[in-house]
Amino acid sequence: MLKSLMYKEWLKVRWSYIGLVLLNMIVVINICISLFNAFKFYEANQVYDGVLSWGYVFYIDLMYIPLATGILLGVVQFFPEINSSRLKLTLHLPIKEIKSLLTIQWYGLSLLMIIFLADAVVISVMTFAYFPSEVVSSFLILSLPWFLAGLTAYIFIALVSIEPAWSRRIMLAVVGVGFVNLLFSNIISMGVETLFSKSYLYFIVITLILTLIILLSGYNYKKGIR
Amino acid sequence: MMNIKSVKIILTASIIFILSIYLPDIFWSTFRFRVERPMVSYSPVINDFLFQYSGKSNAGIKDRKGKTYTREEYEAVMPQFNFAQLMFAGKMPDSVNGIAVDVPLMKKNLFQSRFEPSTIDGFNYMMYPLIESQSGRVNLEYPNEFFIIKDKMEIIDSRTNKVNRDMTEAFTNVLKQHGFVFPAKKTFGNPTTRKAFDEGYFVIDNNDQFFHIKRVKGKPYCKKIDLPAGVNVVHFNVHEIVLKEFYGIFVAENNGLYLLTYDDYKVIKLAIEEYDYRTSSIRILGDLFNRTVSINNENKYSVFVLDREYKLKDMYKGQVLGKEESAQGKISAYLFPFSLSIVSSKSMFVNFFLKVLDLRFLIVNMILLSGLIVFFFIRKIPLDKNIFPLLLVCITGIYGLISVLVIRDFNSSNNFKLGK
Amino acid sequence: MNEAVVQVKSLTHYYGSRLVFEDFNFEIKKGSIFGLLGKNGTGKTTTINILNGFLKQTSGQCLVFGEDSHSLSPQTKARVGFLIEGHIQYSFMNIKQIEKFYSAFYPNWKKEPYWELMSKLQVTENQKISRMSCGQRSQVALGLLLAQDPDLLILDDYSMGLDAGYRRLFVDYLTEYAKAENKTIFITSHIIQDLEELLDDCVVIDYRSVLLTMPIKQFLNEFKQYKCDLVDVTGGIKKDDVIKNVEVVKNKASFYSFAEMKDLENHLFQLDIKHTGLAQIKMSLEDAFIGLTGKY
């Protein structure tokens, strides 16, 4: 039954998902090309100098892409459910509501993680061709919060869509923006260097915990607006 | 298993988490507070401190006795830092304090060094260009080889991204011979060719031993530096300056500030106090006559002046109105039971920085609690069935109140949940 | 004794401070085709939402197959078929995909009735639901319900947006379905004319109150319309226990009442309403409904 549910989600999002994959690949390939060009037009040691000593982030174009991807997928997946109460159909299916809500959410999160993994792998491979592994690990640590931001934005779009009461929707939106903003702390202070290397595990755990709130939104949906 | 009560607690916790980060943030952005800390310099002409204030209320330059200085007067008593202007105005003196001076002499003796907590607790690749320090050419050349000291001193050719095995082996062996224990904890140096000469890198190994490593005529140079007992380097600023008095300045674990001299790597401890490398900012300014060390802390600042023999000549300790004592600070201490931040000026890393001052916020918490109780009365919500929100407001004050009011899930008297 | 498939006990609901209904009681027995009738805005959708677990009532109980309507077990949910107002479906799917999707959830899925209906529509397998007309969509919804073969069918205003042809089609299929396998059906509607042949029982609700709960046949037998000419047109005639509703146009009056003609005569005499030519008029279900609830 859960397979069928995932099949329905796939039917809903497949074209948009392909579009998002294309968007990510275009950005990522662009990054690879610009790195290639950097080594073509400049001396290798100059590029190393830029990256190692001056903190030049050659993959900065990636920064908001996961966020946009998460938001768009969330919209495409959840707005149709709420439009004309289609969520009622889903919740009426003979499965435990906890299972159906979590399945739908984790299906979307998995789709996102596939794209993000692809982004990370392509850039890592390209980086590893030109730089030692330390630069690759630095990329992974620096970009992880950007990917988490995409997942978090998706989660909150789902929450805001499902929650029926407007006052709570606004509250959830504010909290969602709050969490996403934290993940871009690299631009809040001190340029791009502010790093999550000491705390990334906590943020992964926080994101995991946030995936549970959908159960409350579903519960409120079933309570209706009074 | 999963029940709704636990999810509601998670949501409440999330709201409180976000509020405790952003409410204080918004508060301080709206009611900005600037520390009015003067820029302190020491004049060898008048042998006194000069305080430069740039605040709205008290801009101006004063000395310790309170005498004010105009901009020109200031420049006249600080010739070493204003020679361009003084020469332009034809006011450059021939001698200061009985010593004949000229611009090249003054320039040669000028240097500056800074240590910030966020640099010390910061990220660095620890991968540097292995500059040839004696190429036989007048200018340094930026090399193709970069190194990082991991399980060995790995030297990579940037053109191929491959390890140069010969060089790696050569350098690693020399390090081993000198007792280097891999991997390095930290490596310090100036990875630029825009300097007069190159002294290579200074490295802390895995046993907290201190080494000097250089590339000399293609070959490895390594020297184990014996520091006095109890002196462990935390951060080292390499200064490759024509003065050639010291390799650089370092901060130690014991919060001491040291020079690493050219005299067989002997160290000179600078006579300073009130320095904690984790929280203080420090600037060392050197000129022909003195070494002026300025240390800035949250609510105070200290300036120490040492002569060229490094004897303490003068010092000044000042207080500033800190954030906490300001009007905004006091209000925020009442309003916010705690504040959370994930960035800090003392570190480059994102982490969780919790600030709890004292318990005075309980007063405001009690006021908010009474407000909530009144709200319960008006909405006919029974108190005994809703202990959790009351307790939450008691402890987390304004954060708890906001989260309780937006989640709005109270138990009514007939065991049905009321909510809007 | 037939088991009660749906039990509504002392159901009360407020939207904020506005009362929708209070102490609402009714029971739907197995095999019955039950109608919830009322004008727009009287609380039909509220009742349906509570019944389907999408609205939590202020107080009272609503049981479906003995379980609280808010926490139906998956096994019970499989026995309940639900038609949402407007025939809402996953419109991004085509008719083949949607059948495949639902079939995975119901162990007793019978695809024949579904495809039989689809063949009558003369559309291809790849026909996207979003591109179908209202009537065609209603057939898809009906087909899916028949394929699911639920023991209880809840239809929230099946007639919305449908013309007469599709409405009749629906009623025909439902009747056949219900009788064939002793299924229970719960319908809400404000279009009464189609339901006369279909319903067994009904409950009629009005703003804030329940007007009656009884089998259709009994309703039509006992609720009567009388016409007469008024002699004295001055003075209004008020509703009361006997006179459930009254309409006066010029000097012609229509009375709606559960009383027998002679009891009405007595009552009018007591109220000193002079009249002539009192006669009973036969009513359809729709007439009776309007008579009970009023034209406004």
Tell me how crowded residue C222 is: count the other CB atoms within 10 A of its CB: 14
Picking from B224, B212, B214, B206, the residue whose alpha carbon sits closest to that of residue B147 is B214
Q: Helix axis angle, B387-407 relative to A166-183, nearest 10°? A: 90
Asked whether the beta carbons of residue A45 and residue B144 sit closer than 8 angstroms, the reply is yes
Which segments of B39-131 are extended strands (E)? Answer: 39-43, 48-53, 60-63, 68-69, 95-96, 99-100, 111-115, 128-129
pLDDT at residue C226 in the model: 87
Asked whether the beta carbons of residue C88 and residue A96 sit closer than 8 angstroms, the reply is no
Q: How far from B176 is each of B164, B215, B222, CA to CA, in Å?
A: 18, 16, 10
Closest CA–CA distance from residue B25 to any residue of chain A (Å)? 12
Asked whether the beta carbons of residue A226 and residue B158 sit closer than 8 angstroms, the reply is no
Closest CA–CA distance from residue C13 to any residue of chain B (Å)? 12
Cα–Cα dist B108/A106, whole Å: 65
- Distance from the first to the final alpha carbon of chain C: 40
Cα–Cα dist C83/B53, whole Å: 76
| Largest Cα span, chain A | 68
Instruction: Tell whether C52 lies on the interface with A, counting CB pairs under 8 A.
Output: yes
Q: How many inter-chain contacts (B to C, CB under 8 Å) are there?
A: 5
Among B416, B417, B418, B420, pick the best mutation site for testing chain C contact (most C Cβ within 10 A).
B416
Picking from A62, A70, A224, A48, the residue whose alpha carbon sits closest to that of residue A153 is A70
What's the whole-number average pLDDT of chain A?
92
How many Å separate Cα B405 from the centre of its chain?
40
Sign of the C-alpha dihedral, residues C169, C173, C179, C183? negative
Q: Is B299 exposed, middle or buried (0-12, 13-18, 19+ CB in 10 A)?
A: middle
Strands C80-83 and C152-156: parallel
With contacts defined as CB-CB under 8 Å, which chain B residues touch C16? Answer: 420
Nearest CA in chain C to B412: C58
Q: What is the pLDDT of residues B268-322, one digit of tens each?
A: 999 998 899 999 999 999 999 999 999 999 889 999 999 999 999 999 999 988 8
Picking from B357, B347, B293, the residue whose alpha carbon sits closest to that of residue B120 is B347
Q: What is the pLDDT of residues B37-93, one digit of tens each?
A: 899 999 988 889 999 988 777 788 888 888 888 888 888 888 888 888 888 888 888
Closest CA–CA distance from residue A60 to any residue of chain B (Å)? 18
Q: Are A169 and A138 in contact (CB under 8 A)?
A: no
Picking from A52, C193, C276, the residue whose alpha carbon sits closest to that of residue B191 is A52
Q: Which chains touch A (3 or more CB pairs under 8 A)?
A: B, C
pLDDT at residue B20 in the model: 95
Asked whether the beta carbons of residue B416 and residue C58 sit closer than 8 angstroms, the reply is yes
Closest CA–CA distance from residue B417 to any residue of chain C (Å)? 9
B231-259 b/e (C-beta count within 10 Å ≥ 16 → b): bebbbbbbbbbeeebbbbbbbbeeebbbb
Cα–Cα dist B62/B69, whole Å: 6
Q: Is B351 exposed, middle or buried (0-12, 13-18, 19+ CB in 10 A)?
A: middle
Based on DSSP, count helices (H) and strands (E) in chain A, helices before strands: 9, 0
Sign of the C-alpha dihedral, residues B291, B296, B297, B299? positive
Strands B246-252 and B128-129: unpaired
Q: Which residue carries 């004295």 as its tokens?
A: C232
List the 206-225 stretch of C: residues with Cβ below 8 A of A. none
Which residues contact residue A192 at a Cβ distance below 8 angstroms, ignoring those fewer than 6 apart? A55, A57, A60, A142, A186
Asked whether the beta carbons of residue C90 and residue A226 sit closer than 8 angstroms, the reply is no
The DSSP secondary structure of C5-66, one letter per residue, reads EEEEEEEEEEETTEEEEEEEEEEEETT-EEEEEE-TTSSHHHHHHHHTTSS--SEEEEEETT
Q: What is the pLDDT of residues A50-104, one digit of tens each?
A: 999 888 889 999 999 999 999 999 999 999 888 767 899 999 999 999 999 999 9
pLDDT at residue C233 in the model: 62
pLDDT at residue C176 in the model: 85
Asked whether the beta carbons of residue C16 and residue B420 sit closer than 8 angstroms, the reply is yes
Asked whether the beta carbons of residue A224 and residue C56 sit closer than 8 angstroms, the reply is yes
Cα–Cα dist C276/C226, whole Å: 12
Q: For residue A130, is pLDDT > 80? A: yes
Among A8, A98, A220, pick the best mutation site for testing chain C contact (most C Cβ within 10 A).
A8
Confidence label for B383 from pLDDT (cuts 50, 70 and 90) = confident
Cα–Cα dist A188/A207, whole Å: 20
Q: For residue C45, is pLDDT > 90? A: no
Q: Which residues pair with C29 in a beta bridge?
A: C4
Q: Are B354 and B344 in contact (CB under 8 A)?
A: no
C274-294 b/e (C-beta count within 10 Å ≥ 16 → b): ebeebeeeebebebbbbbbbe
Picking from B365, B340, B396, the residue whose alpha carbon sits closest to that of residue A178 is B340
Residue A51 is inside which H or E element, if any? helix A44-52
Asked whether the beta carbons of residue C59 and residue B414 sit closer than 8 angstroms, the reply is yes
Which residues contact residue A180 at a Cβ distance below 8 angstroms, ignoring those fewer than 6 apart? A67, A149, A152, A153, A156
Q: How far from C117 is each of C109, C122, C173, CA to CA, in Å?
A: 15, 9, 10
C20 vs B2: which has the higher pLDDT: C20
Closest CA–CA distance from residue C77 to any residue of chain B (Å)? 21
Q: Is B80 exposed, middle or buried (0-12, 13-18, 19+ CB in 10 A)?
A: buried
Q: Which residue carries 């001056």 as its tokens?
A: A54
Asked whether the beta carbons of residue A94 and residue C105 sit closer than 8 angstroms, the reply is yes
Asked whether the beta carbons of residue A224 and residue C55 sit closer than 8 angstroms, the reply is yes
Establish whether this prediction's ipTM goes over 0.85: yes
Q: Which residue carries 């027995």 as its tokens?
A: C29
The DSSP secondary structure of C60-114, one letter per residue, reads EEEEETTEETTS--HHHHHTEEEE-TT----TTSBHHHHHHHHHTT-TT--HHHH
**Mean per-residue pLDDT for B22-30?**
93
Given A129, A199, A216, which is nearest B4 (Cβ)?
Answer: A216
List the 5-24 stretch of C: residues with Cβ below 8 A of B. 16
In percent, the amount of chain B with pLDDT more than 90 equals 60
Picking from A1, A8, A16, A11, the residue whose alpha carbon sits closest to that of residue A154 is A16
Closest CA–CA distance from residue A65 to any residue of chain C (Å)? 27
Nearest CA in chain C to B418: C58
Q: For residue C135, is pLDDT > 50? A: yes
Cα–Cα dist C151/C167, whole Å: 22
Nearest CA in chain A to C92: A12
Closest CA–CA distance from residue A25 to any residue of chain C (Å)? 27
Q: Are A47 and A37 in contact (CB under 8 A)?
A: no
Picking from B358, B355, B353, B365, the residue whose alpha carbon sits closest to that of residue B400 is B365
Picking from B152, B242, B251, B233, the residue whose alpha carbon sits closest to that of residue B199 is B242
Q: Which chains touch B (3 or more CB pairs under 8 A)?
A: A, C
**Mean per-residue pLDDT for C140-159?**
90
Cα–Cα dist B69/B50, whole Å: 9
Q: What is the pLDDT of residues C182-225, one digit of tens each?
A: 889 999 887 788 788 888 888 888 887 788 888 888 888 888 88
**Mean per-residue pLDDT for C261-272?**
84
